[in-house]
Structure 1
Amino acid sequence: MSSLEPFGARLRRAMDERGALCVGIDPHASLLAEWGLNDDVAGLERFSRTVVEAMADRVAVLKPQSAFFERFGSRGIAVLERSVAEARAAGALVVMDAKRGDIGSTMAAYAETFLCKDSPLFSDALTVSPYLGYGSLSPAVVLARESGTGLFVLALTSNPEGGEVQHAVRADGRNIGATMLAHLAAENEGEQPLGSFGAVVGATLGDLSSYDLDINGPLLAPGIGAQGATAADLPGVFGAAARNVVPNVSRGVLRHGPDAGALRAAAERFAEEIRAAVETV
C-alpha cells in the first residue's frame, strides 16, 4: 500500500498554515431546521455541501459526524462519501467522527472502511473508542501507520458520563484516562514534527495539570463554543500542550449558516482567537 505523508506531519503543517481549528459537520435535525432545510437527504446534501464549499479551502480540519449521515441509510452515506472527497480535494484534512471500537476482524473492518485509501470513505483520521482495551485498537493502529492516516482515541471526554470509565483507577493507581494518554505517548515516541496518534480531551474539563498531556501527538478538544469553553481557556486547561491542541467547534460556527460568508467569518474569528490564546503559552 502506498502511503501518504504521516498524518501528524500533515496536521502540524495545516495548523501552522491555516490555524488550529477543527469545524464539525453535524447536520442534526434541529440545525437543518435553523437553516430552513428539510430533515431529509436533500437537506443533508445542501447543508454538507455548503459547509464544505465555505470552509474546506481555509480551515485545517473538517470533522463530519458519521451518525448524522448514517441515519438516512445508503443515500446519507453517499452524501458523506462526496463530502469527504470534496473536502480533501479542497485541502482540508478530514477527521471522521465515528468513534468505532471493537475487536479482531471487526475492528479491522472498521479501520478499512475509513483508513484504507481504496475506500470511498477514506479519511485522514478516525475517532476510536478504546474501552474494549487499548490493544483492541491494534488493527486500526497498524493500518494508520501503513496508510499515513491517524487516530483520535477517546481519553478524557467532555461528557459528564465519561468520568465513570475514564476516571476509574487501576490497581497501579493510574486512572483509565491517564493510561490511554500513556499508550498514545508510546505510539508517538520519536515522531517529528508531531505523532499521528491523538487523544480526545475536552476543553471544558478545567485544569488538567495532573495529567501528562505531552503525548507528542494532537489533542482534539471538543467543547469550544456552545458547550461553554472559550479559546482563552485553552492555556489553563492544556498548559504547555496547548500548541498541539486542535479545538473542535461545531454549533458555534454552523449556527451562522446557511450564508457562506458568515460561516467563513465565524471560522476565521475562532481560528484567530485560538491563535492568540496559544501564543501566550
Structure 2
Amino acid sequence: MTLSFGTRLRSAMDERGPLCVGIDPHAALLDSWGLTDDIAGLERFTFTVVEALADTVAVFKPQAAFFERFGSRGVAVLERAVADLRAAGGLVVMDAKRGDIGSTMAAYAEAFLRKDSPLFSDALTVSPYLGYGSLKPAVDLARESGAGLFVLALTSNPEGSEVQRAVREDGRTIGATMLAHLAEENAGETPMGSFGAVVGATLGDLSSFDLDINGPLLAPGIGAQGATPADLPAVFGAAVRNVVPNVSRGVLRHGPDVSALRASADRYADEIRAAVGA
C-alpha cells in the first residue's frame, strides 16, 4: 500500500524537523561557491547539497528552471538528484509551477507525478490561474501515485496580489477560493491531506484567510527574503503546525563546506521546531 504524501510529509517533518531546503543553482550562487556556471558547476553544487543534507532534512525543493537552463544535461542532473534525495529518505517537492489545460496539463503531471517517470517527485508546485478545474489531471494522478500538489494561493511577490487578492462576484478573493478548493480535496484525510498551498511567510497577518485546509502550507521567504522562524505563528495562526517553511539562500550560502551546510540546516530546523511547537 502506498502511503499518501500528507502522511509521509507529516512523518518526515516529525522525524527530521519541519524544514524544506530549496535547491536553486542560479549563476550568482554558483559563483559564490567558486563554481563555473556550466554543467560541471551545476553537478558539483547539486551533489554537494545532496551529500550534506539528503539524510537529515525532511523536504527538498529543487527549482526546475535552474536545471532546465542547461538543457538535457541539466535535466539529467536533476533526475539524479531527485533519485538520490528520495533514496536517502528525503521528500522532493518539484518547484516547476506547471499550469495548463487538458492534455497538456496531463502531460505535465505525467512528467513529475507518474511513478515510473525519471522525474517522479513526492509533490509538484502548480499554478491554478487557468481555473482550479484545469488542475484536475494533476490532482487525479497525484492521488493515484500517492503524491501531492502545492497550489499557488498567496505568494509573496508583489505582483501576485493583483490576481490572488482580486475579489470575485461572490465577494471572495481568488486566493481564498483556491484555499477553499484545497480544503475540499483534503476533507477527512488524516493526519493531513496531500493537497497544499503556497503561502508566503513574508505576508504578515493573514487572519482574514482561512488557512486551515487540512493540508500542508509551503512557506517560502524564510532567511534571505526577510522572514524568520519566529514570524511563523503570527502569519499562519492555528495552521502553523502544517507549515513547511522553505529556506534556500539562508542555507545554501554556507556552501560548498558540507559541515557548514549541515550546521545551517540543523539550526533552521531547530528554530522552526521551537517556533511552531513541533
TM-score range, shorter chain: over 0.9
**Which of 97, 101, 104 is the matching residue for 1:103?**
101
Partner Cα distance (1:86, 1:154) in 2:
27
Partner Cα distance (1:96, 1:199) in 2:
14
Aligned residues: 278
Q: Partner of 1:219 in structure 2? A: 217
- Runs (4 or more) in structure 1 with deviation over 6 Å come to none
Partner Cα distance (1:277, 1:207) in 2:
16
Partner Cα distance (1:260, 1:42) in 2:
18
Q: What is the Cα-based RMSD across aligned positions, in Å?
A: 0.8
Partner Cα distance (1:264, 1:246) in 2:
18
Partner Cα distance (1:227, 1:279) in 2:
23
Residues 155 and 177 in structure 1, CA contact (< 8 A), matched pair in contact too:
yes
Residues 24 and 249 in structure 1, CA contact (< 8 A), matched pair in contact too:
yes
Q: Partner of 1:32 in structure 2? A: 30
Are 2:202 and 1:230 equivalent residues in the alignment?
no
Counterpart residue identity of residue 175, structure 2: G
Q: Partner of 2:268 in structure 1? A: 270
Q: Partner of 1:129 in structure 2? A: 127
Report how far residue 279 of structure 1 moved.
1.2
Any idea what the Cα deviations from partners look like across 1:88-110, whole Å, max 9, x if unmatched?
00010000000000000000000
Partner Cα distance (1:186, 1:9) in 2:
17
Instruction: Give the secondary-structure state (helix, strand or coil) at the position aligned to 2:221.
Output: coil
Counterpart residue identity of residue 146, structure 1: E
Q: Partner of 1:52 in structure 2? A: 50
Residues 194 and 218 in structure 1, CA contact (< 8 A), matched pair in contact too:
yes
Q: Partner of 1:247 in structure 2? A: 245
Partner Cα distance (2:48, 2:262) in 1:
11
Partner Cα distance (1:118, 1:15) in 2:
26
Q: Partner of 2:18 in structure 1? A: 20
Partner Cα distance (1:12, 1:135) in 2:
27
Partner Cα distance (1:37, 1:143) in 2:
38
Partner Cα distance (1:20, 1:209) in 2:
22
Q: Partner of 1:61 in structure 2? A: 59
Report how far residue 4 of structure 1 moved.
2.6
Residues 50 and 260 in structure 1, CA contact (< 8 A), matched pair in contact too:
yes
Residues 4 and 149 in structure 1, CA contact (< 8 A), matched pair in contact too:
no
Partner Cα distance (1:202, 1:30) in 2:
23
Q: Partner of 2:136 in structure 1? A: 138
Q: Partner of 1:147 in structure 2? A: 145
User: Which runs of 5 or more residues in structure 2 are unaligned?
Assistant: none
Counterpart residue identity of residue 30, structure 1: A
Residues 61 and 93 in structure 1, CA contact (< 8 A), matched pair in contact too:
yes
Any idea what the Cα deviations from partners look like across 1:125-183, whole Å, max 9, x if unmatched?
00000000000000000000000000000000010100000000000000000000000
Partner Cα distance (1:76, 1:205) in 2:
33
Q: Partner of 1:193 in structure 2? A: 191
Q: Partner of 1:80 in structure 2? A: 78
Q: TM-score, normalised by structure 1?
A: 0.98
Partner Cα distance (2:50, 2:239) in 1:
29
